[in-house]
Amino acid sequence: MDNDAYRLVKNVWFNSGKLIAEYLKKPENPDLNLGLKIFQTTETGVHEAIEFEDYLLKNKIWDRKVILKGQIIQDLGITMTILSPDTLNLEKLLNEYKFQTGDDIYTAGKEKDWGKTLTEFIEEEVQKKYKFSQDSSVKNGSSITFVITIFGKNFLFLGDSHPILIAKAITDLGFSEIDQLVVELFKVSHHGSKSNTNEKLVKLVKTGNYFLSTDSSGDNHPHKRTLARIVKYNPSATFHFNYPQVSENILLPQDFKDFPLLKIKLTNKLEFKYDPR
């Protein structure tokens, strides 16, 4: 990050440890103090460490407001409906989170599951040979997630969130498997991890476009099992990836035979044109 990067950003959403503690009127958890290294390349991550909170305040790009489920934020003609976190997950983060301890974001990546076909995954789950297990990371469960609405079109961004929480947030908005939330784009949670997208969530959202952001070098995401859950209910889905090593290798020739309407795209920019009709 360049020292002047803040000039490009007008407002940052950040539920800092200090802010959460103030909001909940509880003691601060020092494990939540997040560092930020001013760096010159993209080769960095959460381990890199000035204090992020101090940086935001110094450069006046943070209003220190807790972001919570149910809030509706409007700015520049855009409406953002917040789906998570809720107060319970902020409490868990404040009380339970331990840096690099018991948080599966720091565990070593497992092997890719790209060698099986989509049909094999679907049949495994239909036959109950695989039981879904939700991500247990407290940190991921506190992700800020939202629906952006612009010119009447919705875009769903799920961060690293837990699917049970997001499914409830969507149903709380009045949507169901019959009356689905219609979105132009579904940014799949946690880089397509199999523990962050369940069938309930997939059935609540209607879209043709699923975006999975990862180069697959860390935890071998996305899991192909996640794609299979989506394809089971949307066999004409278009999956957008931002790295060729994923888009070119995750599917097998048999997958396209089994699902001929399925599309894979290497997408660096998504364009959605406004139609006033």
- Any bridge partners for residue 245, and if so which? none
86 Rama class: left (phi>0) / alpha (psi -120 to 50) / beta: beta
Residue 72 is predicted with a pLDDT of: 98
Residue 30 is predicted with a pLDDT of: 82
For 52-105, how does the pLDDT look when each residue is reduced to its tens digit (9 = 90+)?
888 889 899 999 999 999 999 998 889 999 999 999 999 999 987 765 444 444
Residue 6 is predicted with a pLDDT of: 79
Residue 187 is predicted with a pLDDT of: 98
Distance of alpha carbon 142 from alpha carbon 159, whole angstroms: 10
Bigger pLDDT: 95 vs 41: 95
Bigger pLDDT: 200 vs 43: 200
109 has a pLDDT exceeding 90: no
CA distances from 105 to 38, 51, 219 (A): 23, 21, 9
For 187-243, how does the pLDDT look when each residue is reduced to its tens digit (9 = 90+)?
999 999 999 999 999 999 999 999 999 988 877 899 999 999 999 999 999 999 999
Both tokens of 121, joined, read 């995954």
Distance of alpha carbon 254 from alpha carbon 174, whole angstroms: 38
Both tokens of 182, joined, read 């219609």
Are the C-beta atoms of residues 191 and 221 closer than 8 Å to each other? yes
Q: Band of the pLDDT at 34, cuts 50, 70, 90?
A: low
Residue 161 is predicted with a pLDDT of: 97
pTM: 0.89
Alpha helices in the chain, H assignment, sequence order: 17-24, 52-58, 87-96, 118-126, 138-141, 163-172, 199-204, 224-233, 244-247, 253-258
> Mind giving me the DSSP string for 31-82?
GGPPB----SSS---TT---BHHHHHHHTT--------TT-EEEETTEEEEE
Distance of alpha carbon 259 from alpha carbon 230, whole angstroms: 12
For 258-270, how does the pLDDT look when each residue is reduced to its tens digit (9 = 90+)?
999 999 999 988 7
In this prediction, residues 100-117 reach a mean pLDDT of: 64
Look at the block and give the residue holding tokens 């974001």: 105
Q: Band of the pLDDT at 51, cuts 50, 70, 90?
A: confident
Decide the pairing of beta strands 78-84 and 72-75. Answer: antiparallel
Among 34-38, 216-220, 271-275, the least confident range: 34-38
Residue 36 is predicted with a pLDDT of: 55
End-to-end alpha carbon distance in the chain: 42
Looking at mean pLDDT, say which of 43-57, 171-185, 214-228 comes out highest.
171-185
* % of the chain with per-residue pLDDT over 90: 69
Are the C-beta atoms of residues 169 and 69 closer than 8 Å to each other? yes
Q: Which helix (H) or strand (E) holds 83?
A: strand 78-84
